[in-house]
Structure 1
Amino acid sequence: MLSIRFLCLPLLLAATALAAPTAPDTPVLEKRTSPKVTLDKATFVGTGDGSVNKFLGIPFAKAPVGNLRFNLPAAVDPYNGTQTATAFGPACPQQALSLPVLSGVLSDAADTVVNGFLSLIEPSAEDCLSLNVMVPDGTKAGDNLPVAVWIFGGGFEIGGTNIYDGGGIVKRSAAMKSPMIFVSMNYRVSAYGFLASKEVKAAGVGNLGLQDQRLALQWVQKYITQFGGDPSKVTIWGESAGAISIALHMVSNGGDPQGLFRGAFMESGSPIPVGDIEHGQGDYDALVSQTGCTGAADTLQCLREVDFSKLKKAVDASPSFFSFQALKLAWIPRVDGVFLTQPSQQLVVNGSVAKIPFVSGDCEDEGTLFSLSSLNVTTDAGARSYIKDVFTPNATDAELDKLLSLYPSTPSAGSPFGTGAFNAITPQFKRIAAFQGDLVFNAARRFFLQQRAADQPVYSFLSKRFKVTPVLGAFHVTDVLNVFGGGELTDYLINFTNNLDPNGPTVPAWPQYTVAQPQLMTFLDGFTPTKITTDDFRKDAMSFVIELSLKYPL
C-alpha cells in the first residue's frame, strides 16, 4: 500500500515552501529600524529583515460589505495617519471543498492535503481587499525597479496571499543584480467574486474578482513609485485561476492593457472555454433558495443583505472543483458584457489580445487531481455520458464518437501520461484525466500560443516533475514549487520581469515559441533537469478539443 506521506509529499513540500517566511542568512542581533513609506498623508510602517522590506495588508478597496457585497469594488479614500503594515490581511471568504468520495490511502491523502492547505489560508473575512508590497532592503522612491504582481490560484474558489511569501524571490533578484518588487493582492473568490445569473448581468456586477484585481493593478500604478517601483514596468504573474485571470485581463477591453502591465507570466492557465454569465443561473437560483431570498422583489439585493453565516452556508453547498462535475466550475469568470464581451477563446480568435510579451506553461498531468471525483465512472458508456452531460451537452453523437476515439480508455494513452498501465485506478480514470487536463489547460495553452506567436514574443514550458507521484503524476500546482521554492522558474521570472525575456546567465537557454518551431522549456526529474522539446503531442486530440470548446463554451 502507498504511504500517505509519500503521496502527499509534493503538495506538502509546496505548502511548506510557500508558507515559510523569508529569513536572513545569518542571525540579526541589532534592533532594526522599521521600514516606512508615505502614501497620501499616511505613514505605513512595515517589517524588514535586512534583506527584504515588507509592507503587508494594505487596503486597496473599501470593505465589500453591505451594499458593496456583490458589487463593484470601490477604491479606498486617501490614506492618512500612521498605519501598521506588518501582517497579511485576512483572505476573502473561502468556499468549503467537498472532497471526492475516495477510499483508503487516497481518502486520507486528499483530506490531509486539502484541509492542511485551507488551514494555511485562514483567517478569512468579508473585509479582505488588501495587498502586499515586498522590496529589496534600501530601495527608495526614484529607483524605478520593475514589478511582478502575483495573482494566486485556487480554482476561483479558495486562496489568499498569506501563503505566498515573495520575499525569497525579491532576495534572489537582488543577488542576481536584477532587483525587482513583488506585489500580491487578495480578491473575492467563489460566489462572492463570481456570482453568475441574468440578475447579475442586468446589474453589471459580473466578474467581481477580476474587477478587484483590476483595481489592485490601478493601485500599483498610483502608488508603486513610493516604494521605488516603476509603474511602466509591471508584469502580471499567476498560477491556475491566477493565470487564467491574467489571460482574461489580456483579452478584455479590446486587448488594451491601459498601461497597467507590460508583460504576463502564466503558470497553468490560459483563456478558457467559458460562456455567458447566464450559464450560472442554476447555481444562483440555488443560492437564492437556500438563503431564503426566493420571494424577494430583488434577489440580488436580498443576497447583499442576508446574514453572512447564512450566505456562507449556502455558498459552501455549491459544487466545487472536487465535486462530480470537477472543472465545470459553478463560480468562474464568464461573459458579462462588461469585463468579457465574448467567450475568451473567441476574443483570442478575434485578435482582442494585449500585444505584450508573455510566458505560458503547464504541468503534464493537469487533469489528474480533478478526476478523483469521477472514479465511479468505470465504463465506456459511463465516460461518454459523463463528458456529454458535464462538459458538452450540445455535442452531436458524431462529435462525441470522435472525441472518445481521440481520448481512448487505453491506460497507456491516459494521464498520468507516459506511465503505461500504471495509475489506472479505474478503467476510465486516466482517460477522463487526459481530457480534462487538455480541455482546460494544455489545449487551451497551445491554442493561445499558436494564435499569438506570430504577433508578439511568447515562451512556453511543460513541467514533468514529480512524475513518480502515484495516481497523480506531474499534477496541477507542482510547478509552483519551481518558482516559490527557488527552482529555475525563479530566475526565469526575475529575468522576464526585468527584461521581458526569461533568458539570463544563471539558467539554460529558453527559445522563443513560434508557430513554425513550437519549442517548450521542459522541466524534468532526475539528472537532466531541463530539456527543449516540441509542443506537438496529442495534436489531433487537442485541435478537436479546441474546436468543441469554441463551439460549446461552458
Structure 2
Amino acid sequence: MTGHVEPNNVVQFRAIPYATIPARYKRSILLDSLETTNRDFTKHGFACPQIKPLDNTRGGLFKDEPHPWPMDEFKCTILQINIPLSLLQNPPPKSNKLPVLVYIHGGGFYLGNIDSHHSTHLVVSKSITDAQPIIAVNIQYRVGALGFLYTDEANSNCALNDQRTALLWLQKFIGGFGGDRERVTVFGESAGSMSICYHMLAPPPPEGPLFNRAILMSGILGPISTPVFIEQAEARAEEFKKMLQKMGVDGPDHASVEDVVAASQKLIENSTLWLHVQADGWFGAETGKLTWDRVPELLGKCEWVDEIVVGTTGFEGPTMIANAQKMTPTSFLKGIEDQIGPKAASRTKEIYRLTEDMDQNLFLTPAMQWIGDVVFDAPAQNLVRYLTTKTDKKVYRYIFDARNPFPGHPLYQTAHHWVDIYYLFMTCQFRYPSQRLKDLSKKHAQLWTDFANGKAPWKEFKYGDGEEAVMMIAEERDGWIERTVAEDAALNERDTLQRAERLWETWAGEQGILRRSSTLPTAPFRRSE
C-alpha cells in the first residue's frame, strides 16, 4: 500500500474502501480483501452525495482543498488511517501494538465526509511528540436519504450498518497496520456522537465488541434523536416519496441521485430529521420499545464500554437561532402546552423565566437555551447522572467554553455547538489569532490521546458529590482547567446542568403522552406557516 507522508512523520492512507454497496438503499457488505483494489492510497476519495455548502466559516477552504468535493453514492464507504511513520519503518512486536482512536463525523445525519478540516494526522503527530503514539482513523458513511430512507427491515439503518462495517474492517485489519484491536476508542461530535450511542445500544456483532472506550461530544440520544419506530420510518418514507412527486419524479425507484439528494435536503429544511429505525436486527427484540427516557439505563447496560467522556459546549443553542426566531414567547409556550400539556408549559415557563409579553430580543436567549437543552445538554447531563449513580462506569465530564475564533463566522465569539471541532484536530491552528488558542488546541488533542492510551484525562465526575463534583472546562483565559460545579456556576453564572435536569424531569412527568412515540413532538422546531 502507498500512503501520503504528512508533515511531522505521519503516513496517511486515504480513501481505503471498507465495503461495497450492492444497490441504492441496500446495506453495505464488508470488503474483506484489497486484492482487486488499486493500492495507491495517496488521493482523497468520494463523499456520499449531499448538498455541501461552501464552508467559509473557518476562514475559507484550506490550500489545495477541492470544492466541490467529488461525490459518488457507490464509492463513498471509505476510511482514512493516520499512522506514525516510525511504526511502519520498525513494526512493533505483536504484544506492543498501538491504541486506535476512531472518529465518526457529525453533520446532522445529512452532511459530512472525510475532509482536510477533520483530518486526524496532526492528532497523531501530537501523540508522537507526547511519547504516547496512537493510530487515528476517520470513517465515512452514507448520509441523508441514501443512508436513512426506510424501504424494508432487512435493509434498514444503512448508515448505521456502514459504520459498523467500517469498525468490523478495523477489527479485521488494523493489526496489520500496527494497531491494537482490543484498544479502540471511538469519538464523535453531534450526529457522530449519537451514532456511538446507537452502537452501544445494540448487541455487539458475533465478532465481538467494536470498541472499548467512547468520547461523546455534544451528542447523546434524547427526546428528538432516539431511533424511530418502524411506523414513523414508513411515514417519513412516504413524505420523501411525496416530495419527489412535487419535484416531478415518479417515486424513489425512478429518481436520479441528484433528485434523491434534493428531496432529502428539502425535508431537512422543513425540520424533518433523518434518524435510525428501531428494527429488531439492530437493537434486539428483548429491548422492546426504545423511548427517549430509557436511553441512560440502556447505555448503562453496555458491558463492553467501561469508561466514557461526555461533554457539551458552553452554549449549544445559537446554531439553531433560525428556529428560535420563528417563535414568540406566546407561540412557544402554546406549542408546548398543545403537545405536552399545561403542566409542562408552566414548568418550562418557570425554568426559563419566560413571560408572554417579554421583549422578543430578550426572549431569544432562553429560546436558544431551551433548544440547546432539548437536543444536547439535557440528554448529556441525565446520562452522566445515571451512569455515575447507577453503574460502575467511569465518566469524565467537560464543558468546552472556548469561543469561535473566526471573524467571518456568523457565530463569532460564541461557544456554540461544534466549535470544539475547530480546535480538536489542530488543522485550523494557522488561523488562530493568539498562541493561547493554539495551546488550548494542542491540549485538546493531548487529552483525547491520553484517554485512548488508557489514562484518566482528568478527575472522574461523581454526581453524588453535588456541587463539589469536578468537571473539566476549556476556555481561552485558563485553557483546560478542572473546576467544581459550584465554582463554574459562580464564575460563569452558568446554570446549564441544573436547568437541563429540571427540563428532563418536566418531560418525565408526562409519560402517558411521551411514550406514544420514541421522540418528543417537535412543532417548536418546525417552520411557522
Under a length normalisation based on structure 1, what TM-score does the superposition of the two structures give? 0.75
1:177 pairs, out of 131, 141, 145, with 131
Distance 1:376 1:347 in 2: 30
| Alpha carbons 2:82, 2:120 under 8 Å: kept | yes
Matched with 2:158 is 208
- Give the corresponding residue for 1:122: 69
The 1:254–1:542 alpha-carbon spacing in structure 2 relative to 1, beyond 3 Å, is farther
Percentage identity across aligned positions? Answer: 24
Q: Distance in 1 between matches of 2:82 and 2:295?
A: 34
Does the residue aligned with 2:26 lie in a helix, a strand or coil? Answer: coil
1:48 is matched with 5
Q: Which moved more, 1:182-191 or 1:81-90?
A: 81-90
Contact 2:81 2:135 in 1 (8 A): yes
Equivalent in the alignment of 1:530:
481
- 2:390 is the alignment partner of 1:440: no
Distance 2:370 2:142 in 1: 29
Report the CA distance shift for 1:480/1:429 in structure 2 as closer, same or farther (over 3 A). Answer: same
1:332-411 alignment runs, 5 A limit: 332-340=275-283, 341=287, 342-343=290-291, 345-350=293-298, 351-354=300-303, 355-378=305-328, 380-387=329-336, 394-409=339-354
| Further displaced range: 244-253 or 360-369 | 244-253
Q: In the TM superposition, what whole-angstrom CA distance separates every residue of 1:57-96 from its partner, at most 9, and x where no partner exists?
A: 011011x3xx531121111252215521012211112246
**1:353 CA displacement:** 2.5
- Which letter does structure 1 place at the counterpart of 2:79? L
CA distance 1:115–1:478, shift in 2 (3 Å): closer
Query: Relative to 1, partners in 2 of residues 1:334 and 1:447: Cα closer, same or farther, differing over 3 Å?
Result: farther
- Any conservation in 2 of the 1:121–1:159 contact (CA below 8 Å)? no
CA separation in 1, counterparts of 2:413 and 2:202? Answer: 34
2-structure distance, mates of 1:121, 1:531: 42
Q: Is the partner of 2:167 in helix, strand or coil?
A: helix
- Supply the AA of the counterpart residue of 1:479: D
1:147-204, Cα deviation, whole Å (9 max, x unpaired): 00101111111011113111111111111111100111111111221224xxx4x433
Residue 68 of structure 1 is matched in structure 2 by 23
Kindly indicate whether residue 397 of structure 2 is the aligned counterpart of residue 460 of structure 1. yes
Q: Is the 8 A contact 2:49 2:257 kept in 1?
A: no
For 1:113 and 1:334, how far apart are their aligned partners in 2?
Answer: 33
Contact kept? 1:363, 1:476, Cα under 8 Å? yes
Q: How far is the alpha carbon of 1:339 from its aligned partner?
A: 2.3
3-state DSSP class of the match of 1:439?
A: helix
Deviation at 1:360, TM superposition (A): 0.8
Q: Following TM superposition, by how much is the alpha carbon of 1:523 offset from its aligned partner in structure 2, in angstroms? A: 1.2
- Counterpart of 1:133 (choices 51, 60, 81) is 81
Q: 2:318·2:411 contact (CA, 8 Å) conserved in 1? A: no
Q: Secondary structure at the match of 2:222?
A: coil
* Alpha-carbon shift at residue 528 of structure 1 (Å): 5.8
Matched, 1:542 2:500: yes
* Equivalent position amino acid for 1:190 in 2: G
- Report what 1:279 is aligned to: 232
Q: Is the 8 A contact 2:344 2:507 kept in 1?
A: no
What residue ranges of structure 1 are gaps of 5+ in the alignment? 1-43, 98-109, 412-420, 503-509
Q: Name the amino acid aligned to 1:314.
A: A
Worse overlay, 425-434 or 342-351: 342-351
Indicate conservation of the 8 Å contact 1:251/1:348, yes or no: no
Distance 2:364 2:425 in 1: 30
1:493 paired residue number: 448
Q: CA RMSD in A?
A: 3.3
The SS at the match of 1:135 is strand
Cα displacement string for residues 256-286 of structure 1 (whole angstroms, at most 9, x for unaligned residues): 9932111011211112222424334444212
Aligned residues: 459
1:113 aligned partner: 57
- Letter paired with 1:475: H
| Aligned residue number for residue 255 of structure 2 | 306
- Name structure 2 gaps, 5 residues minimum: 427-440, 490-494, 521-529
Query: For the residues of structure 2 that align with 1:222 and 1:69, how far apart are their CA atoms?
Result: 26
Shift in CA distance, 85/180, structure 1 to aligned 2, threshold 3 Å: same
Q: Is 1:514–2:470 an aligned residue pair? A: no
- Displacement over 6 Å in runs of 4+: 254-257, 293-296, 467-472
SS of the residue aligned with 2:396?
A: strand
The CA distance in 1 between the partners of 2:281 and 2:212, in whole Å, is 22
Secondary structure of 1:260 counterpart: coil
